[in-house]
A = this chain, B = another copy of it.
Amino acid sequence: MNPARPARGELAARLRLIVITDRELARPREVTDVVAAALRAGAPAVQLREKVLPPRDTLPLARRLRTETEAARALFFVNDRLDLALAVGADGVHLGSDDVPVSAARRIAPPGFLIGYSADDPDAARTAVADGADYIGCGAVFPTNTKKDAGRAVGLAGLARVVEAVDAPVVAIGGIAPASAAGVFRAGAAGCAVVGAVMAARDPGHVVDGLLGAGGAEVS
């Protein structure tokens, strides 16, 4: 477990930016190279997302990201797979509607383990938080090609409705770049999660800089 795992009150600040991995978009670089640059630039959280390889083949990467995020005092999440997240001592898991339900994950997970849940409408977000989710991932806020099943974009107004619905940090996802991040923070998001903006960037550290600076205040 990560000694830097936050108390609930400081969670929002640690979720200001979640850098989500994508092996394809990172090419020809390794995911770990892009993540290392993001961490050096101050990214406070990383999420491993792997939709193709089985857990056994994902494990070495998950372990390496766990080590590197811990060294950087950043949070580490695993997408979808609670078993993989627990196996590598991740700080949390990010679940969607196809995964093990939040309530079941909460029963299985050890105390302090963080659970994020993807919800694009207020009712789903409220239910997830009532079931034990620590934060909500809301999107796609803007149109995106990264996630094929993201559905239509909810926009900043949709994001704001989810923010108002729950007493938990909301992380905006979907088509967010440094230029559009300020609007996301103004809509009340605690942070943003990005895939392509960082993974495909020529200079990932520069993009992380821009995203972290977008909301005004510095990360504590």
Interface residues of A (CB under 8 A from B): 54-57, 59, 81-84, 86-88, 97-101, 104-105, 107-108
Assembled-state Cα–Cα distance A54/B98 (Å): 6
The interface residues of chain A, by DSSP majority, are classed as helix
Of A55, A88, A107, most buried by chain B (CB within 10 Å of CB) is: A55
Contacting residues, chain B, for A104 (C-beta < 8 A):
59, 83, 86-88
Contacting residues, chain B, for A82 (C-beta < 8 A):
83
Please tell me how many copies of the chain the complex holds. Answer: 2
| Cross-chain contact A84 with B100 (CB below 8 angstroms) | yes
Contacting residues, chain B, for A97 (C-beta < 8 A):
56
| Cross-chain contact B81 with A108 (CB below 8 angstroms) | no
| Cross-chain contact B101 with A83 (CB below 8 angstroms) | no
Jot down 21 A-B pairs with beta carbons below 8 A, ordered by A: A54-B98, A54-B99, A55-B98, A55-B99, A56-B97, A56-B98, A56-B99, A56-B100, A56-B101, A59-B101, A59-B104, A83-B83, A83-B104, A83-B105, A83-B108, A86-B108, A87-B101, A87-B104, A87-B105, A87-B107, A87-B108
Q: Apart from A55-B98, A87-B101, list 17 A-B contacts with CB within 8 A.
A: A54-B98, A54-B99, A55-B99, A55-B100, A56-B100, A57-B98, A59-B100, A59-B101, A59-B104, A81-B83, A82-B83, A83-B83, A83-B100, A83-B105, A87-B104, A87-B107, A88-B104
